[in-house]
Amino acid sequence: MDYDALVAELRQLRENVAGVTDTVIAASDGIPIISDVAKSVDPAHISALAAADLGIARQAAEVMGLGTLSQTVVFGSKGYMAVYAIGRLSLMVALGDKGLNLGRLLHESRPAIERIGSILAP
């Protein structure tokens, strides 16, 4: 696994999008692959929650006929958790504070997800 390439992608996301506080890439079953998180955040917990969150959202998209799921976002009064599907095998989580630039995150993460997908499954 080319971890250096994944590090570069996560670093770029946090530097280029105001408000991104933590990032995790995990397998779809909730096992963390790589993380860049604060001490107060456990990558294993986030990965498990994100996998469950994405699974439910994916199911909803399929049952409702909404097409292929690309992302699901949890809106809290103090911040956000955005979960992106990377193909069917893995996912990426971005945690953000109250001021997170969600539009910018979407704009930056779309090409990042494609690149991360090809790093994970070359």
List the interface residues with another protein, window 58-77 (CB under 8 A).
Answer: 77
Q: How far is the CB of 70 from another protein (least distance, A)?
A: 19
Q: Rank residues 42 and 70 by Cβ distance to another protein and give the closer one.
A: 42
Q: Sign (positive/negative) of CA torsion 48, 54, 60, 63?
A: negative
* CA-wise closest residue to 105 among 114, 96, 116: 96
Kindly tell me which residue out of 52, 56, 66, 89 binds another protein, with binding defined by CB under 8 A.
Answer: 89
Residues in CB range of 75: below 8 A, 6 or more apart? none
Kindly tell me which residue out of 5, 16, 48, 53 binds another protein, with binding defined by CB under 8 A.
Answer: 16
Q: Sign (positive/negative) of CA torsion 96, 100, 102, 105?
A: negative
The single-letter code of the amino acid at 79 is: G
Q: How far is the CB of 53 from another protein (least distance, A)?
A: 16
Residue 17-56 contact track with another protein, rule CB under 8 A, x = bound: xxx-x-----xxx-xxxxxxxxx---x-------------
Name residue, tokens 């001021």: 99
And the tokens for 2? 């080319």
What residue ranges bind another protein (CB under 8 A)? 1, 3, 6-7, 10-11, 14-19, 21, 27-29, 31-39, 43, 77, 89-90, 97-101, 104, 120-121
